[in-house]
Amino acid sequence: MSTVKAYYDGLSFVPIEPVNVQKGKIVQLSLLLDDATNDKASELLNTFRKLTNEILELNKDEPLTPEFDKILKTCVNFSKEN
């Protein structure tokens, strides 16, 4: 048995440090609230939300058109040798 510190993001428990558990394994959780980690958990959760929002904003950009590939091919010579 081992102890893992994690924070709850509203949907799942996220370990603060890496854990040695195979993906897909089922574990039992015993909850003991640790007020000392609330600040760290909030900081990690805020960072995660910020990154998620940035990715969502970046995905709003239109992808490059097929014409871009044509223009790039005329400007740059890619050969199999290089």
Residue 53: inside a domain: yes
Task: Give the HSE-up count for residue 23: Cα atoms under 13 Å, Cβ half-sphere.
Answer: 0
Residue 67: inside a domain: yes
Residue 43: inside a domain: yes
- Count structural domains, the chain: 1
Residue 81: inside a domain: no
Report the pLDDT averaged over residues 19-48.
Answer: 82
pLDDT number for residue 26: 92
Residue 80: inside a domain: no
Q: How far apart are CA 4 and CA 2, in angstroms?
A: 7
Share the mean pLDDT of the chain. 82
Tens-place pLDDT, residues 44-71? 888 888 998 999 888 888 778 888 888 8
Report the pLDDT averaged over residues 27-44.
Answer: 78
**Full-model pTM:** 0.40
**Domain range for 58:** 6-75
In the three-class reduction of DSSP (H, G, I as helix; E, B as strand; rest coil), residue 75 is classed as helix
Residue 65: inside a domain: yes
Q: How far apart are CA 68 and CA 11, in angstroms?
A: 41
- Tell me which residue has tokens 């058109």: 65
